[in-house]
Amino acid sequence: MTDIEDINASDCCGNGCANCVLDVKVKHSKVCDKTGKTNVLLQYTYFRLLEKKPHSDGDSAVWEFHFKSAQAEIGETEYILDLSPGYHLMLRTPYATAAQGCVENEVEMKRKYLLRPYSPYWWDVEKMEFKILVNLKYHGPMTAVLRNLQNDNEVEFRGPIGKFEFTPDNKGDNVILIINQGVAIAATIPIIENILKNDEDLTRIVHLSCFENINHIYFRKEINDFQKYWNYKAHIYVAHELCEDCKPLSACSHLCKNFRNKLKYKEPIQPGRLDDMELNKVLATYGNDVPHLQVVLAGTGNFQQHFKDLLSCDSYGINKNNIYLL
């Protein structure tokens, strides 16, 4: 099996990813070094869909997809699946199986394969399995492929692609600020778990999540579980929560009784957008007590750029090199 470094222009999905496969280097796998095995993901390889199910009762458009490597299925023992928190995989499918009618982009029409990136939120190295969260709300070609994918169908993935680097902090100097939007929270879950499960890592996590409304909060249970850790603090913003009583006001406020009734015990959910004022308020609680602040942004390109510009402006003064776009 060759290395993912064997890439050319046709390996780029053309979606303007912050970490384009053409610009990032292969992440060296320490697990492979240790085990003497090869990362099954280094070249496009088939994965079988084990299961797909809706992520929650409240949102029928967002589904969890669970894949297993075909190599694992035939009992191959020379491979493992090595992924890193904050990295994504590229899904490719021949245009013959993609919904041709949906492809309007000329560059894509000339290609043999349709390519789209997805960010695993869970994986098992030995079993060579992973899960992704997919928003099936859009009317694009890969959404159509995934919507029609049935259990036991196979598709090809390759990776891991990204450049997020993280060093555990055993002194308690570091804060990691994670800001995410919609399903892009999936990419941040392994980053958070990686810190929280390491008792020697004293990094404090400030996790700001933006969703449409309460029914569209993803990983709600996980966020509530993370809140039990001393070094994790979540704030959830729902921009468009609207109950019958608040219709004349266009959105529920924190005073709305119906809004408060939808929250579980001590849930850090508030109505409204995450804006400059709110960001200032959250960061002010850390005062000057943060020798090192690292920022992770996950969401659409516009969302990431907005927060990158804001945080690197004079009033926040965060060094652009410390801001990672997933």
Residues at the contact surface with ligand FAD, assessed by CB under 6 A: 15, 17, 88, 116-119, 132-135, 138, 140-143, 182-183, 186, 300
Token pair listed for 19:
């970490």
Query: Which residue positions form the known binding site?
Result: 116-118, 133, 142
Q: In the bound complex, what is the minimum distance in angstroms from residue 235's beta carbon to ligand FAD?
A: 21
Beta bridge partners of 131: 66, 122
Q: How far is the CB of 301 from ligand FAD (least distance, A)?
A: 8
CB neighbours of 210 closer than 8 A, spacing ≥ 6? 179, 180, 181, 182, 237, 239, 273, 274, 299, 303
Query: C-beta of 153: minimal distance to ligand FAD in Å?
Result: 17
Strand-strand pairing, 79-80 and 38-39 = parallel
Q: Is residue 152 classed as helix, strand or coil in its secondary structure?
A: coil
Q: Which residue of this chain has its Cβ atom nearest to ligand FAD in the complex?
A: 140
Q: Is residue 6 classed as helix, strand or coil in its secondary structure? A: coil
Nearer to ligand FAD, 38 or 209 (CB): 209
Instruction: Give the annotated binding-site residues for FAD.
Output: 116-118, 133, 142
Task: For ligand FAD, give the closer residue by CB, 21 or 256.
Answer: 21
Q: For the chain, what is the total number of helices (H) and then of strands (E)?
A: 9, 15
Q: Closest distance between ligand FAD and the C-beta of residue 22, in Å?
A: 14
Which C-beta is closer to ligand FAD: that of 50 or that of 107?
107
Residue 77 DSSP label:
-
Q: Which is nearer to ligand FAD, 167 or 300 (CB)?
A: 300
141: cis peptide before it, omega within 30°?
no
